[in-house]
Amino acid sequence: MDKKIIFSAIQPTGTFTLGNYLGALQNWVSLQDEYNCCYSIANMHALTVRQQAKDLRANTLNAYALLLAVGVDPQKSIAFIQSHVKCHAELNWVLSCYTQFGELSRMTQFKDKSARHPENVNAGLFTYPVLMAGDILLYQADFVPVGIDQKQHLELARNIAQRFNGIYGDVFTVPDGYYPKLTAKVMSLQDPTKKMSKSDDNPKSYITILDPPETIVKKIKSAVTDSEALVAYREGKDGVNNLMSIYSAVTGRTLEQITEEFAGHGYGDFKQKVGDALAESLRPIRERYAQLMKDRAYLEECYRDGARKAEGVSQRTLDKVYKKIGFLAR
Ligand code: ATP
Ligand code: LTN
């Protein structure tokens, strides 16, 4: 039987955080054997927030190297840069004519980001979810591994696909989200009611996957918890719940085992263990990233090859779409 298809992407807006890793990237890696996977660096999406050209260029290459460093294998999966494959821009236009203004106005990420950047509420920020729907639908993806913050965008992609299929027949596979159980939303270390985000102004609120061990331990130690001094996963203990989820994700221990492990211990001890375990689990990524960044020729070869493969798959879908909607063939 043919393997099912996975598609996902991440924006090159800075070094990936622990939230990106536990919410998305870790699944990307583990799904590679069982599925045909396509992973993209969404540099076109990144343009919705003002970027310095030289930073975007550097961040895109760094993000691509990070993708391989976390364990995406360019031999097994298609790993490419979004702007290298023109079908993304082309399908975006078509799908934007099948998406309603009202639907896009309801997207919470648009509301948040336009509130955070009132000086640059551009049309791309508004139509961002259409570009994302096109990314997914071009590859006929069955599953999309992302964090829970992307759920609303994914629902929209499903609606667009169903609407289009309703008019033209079965053109697109209708995709499903694929979320981790415990870490679909890693919370900010400084305000555990907010998601951890790489664009947060306070660097103490997030851990990047390249932070050195001392920094990781320091940031975990200064994480906001509560005054109860009890390691237990419960409502109202957002800070502790967050650290327990992180610890569970990196050690494979269950919440019950963790509660037992720290029975009678204070938060100091707990945080030290979480920090140490986390720093150790990210070590191979740091080392591999350093290696990859020394070999630019290899990275270039990988992303060119990825673009060629991605183009092959996505062009087939785009051709089908153009035919269905009535664009005269050249
Ligand atoms: P930005 O802060 O620039 O908006 P981001 O950190 O939210 O970026 P994205 O590139 O938008 O990162 O997201 C990449 C992937 O990481 C998505 O699948 C998203 O759902 C996931 N993700 C982002 N933040 C978290 C988080 N705190 N917890 C779990 N998953 C997350
Ligand atoms: N909007 C996504 C990044 C993204 C994406 C995609 C994720 C762009 N295109 C397609 C899944 C599928 C985000 O994570 N912020």
Residue with token string 């070590």 = 283
237 lines ligand 1 (CB under 6 A): no
Which pLDDT band, with edges at 50, 70 and 90, does 248 fall under? very high
User: Quick check: 278 pLDDT over 90?
Assistant: yes
Gap from CA of 330 to ligand 2 centroid (Å): 32
Contact in structure between 63 and 25 (CB atoms under 8 Å): no
H or E, element range at 74: none
Average pLDDT, the chain: 97
In this prediction, residue 328 carries a pLDDT of: 97
pLDDT by residue (tens digit) across 160-189? 999 999 999 999 999 999 999 999 999 999
Residue 199 has pLDDT above 90, yes or no: no
pLDDT of 1: 74
Which residues, in sequence order, are CB contacts of 300 under 8 Å at separation 6+?
none
Task: Tell me the mean pLDDT in the region 37-56.
Answer: 97
Distance in angstroms (rounded) separating the CA atoms of residues 289 and 100: 42
> Residue 242: what pLDDT?
98
Q: What CA–CA distance (Å, rounded) separates 204 from 218?
A: 9
Could you report the per-residue pLDDT of 73-84, keeping only the tens digit for each? Answer: 999 999 999 999
pLDDT tens digit sequence for 307-321: 999 999 999 999 999
Q: Percent of the chain beyond pLDDT 90?
A: 97
Summarised one tens digit per residue, pLDDT across range 22-44 is 999 999 999 999 999 999 999 99
DSSP of 191-210, one letter per residue?
Answer: -TTSB--TT-S-GGG--BTT
Q: What is the mean pLDDT of residues 219-235?
A: 96
Tokens coding 223 = 């994480």
Q: 22 CA to middle of ligand 1, Å? A: 10
What is the Cα–Cα distance from 309 to 49, expressed in whole angstroms? 29
Give the residue from 185, 223, 207, 196 showing the smallest Cα distance to 23: 185
Number of Cβ within a 10 Å radius of residue 36: 20
Ligand 1 atom 14 nearest Cα: 10
User: Given ligand 1 and candidates 112, 116, 131, 149, which is best to mutate, with the most ligand atoms within 8 Å of its CB?
Assistant: 149
Mind telling me the catalytic residues? Answer: 113, 195, 198
**pLDDT, average across residues 52-60:** 98
Asked whether residue 226 carries a pLDDT value surpassing 90, the answer given is yes
- The pLDDT score that the predictor gives to residue 172 is 98
- Report the C-alpha gap between 76 and 97 in whole angstroms: 35
Nearest to 257 by CA among 231, 276, 228: 231
Task: Report the separation in Å between the CA atom of 86 and the middle of ligand 2, taken as the mean of its atom positions.
Answer: 17
Contact between 318 and 87 under an 8 Å Cβ cutoff? The reply is yes
Pocket flag, ligand 2, residue 41 (CB < 6 Å): no
List the structure tokens of 115.
């509130």
In whole angstroms, give the CA distance from residue 141 to residue 299.
25
Residue % of the chain over a pLDDT of 70: 100
At 116 the pLDDT is: 87
pLDDT at 54 over 90: yes
The closest alpha carbon to 129, from 148, 103, 147, 164, belongs to 103
Whether 105 has a pLDDT exceeding 90, the answer reads: yes
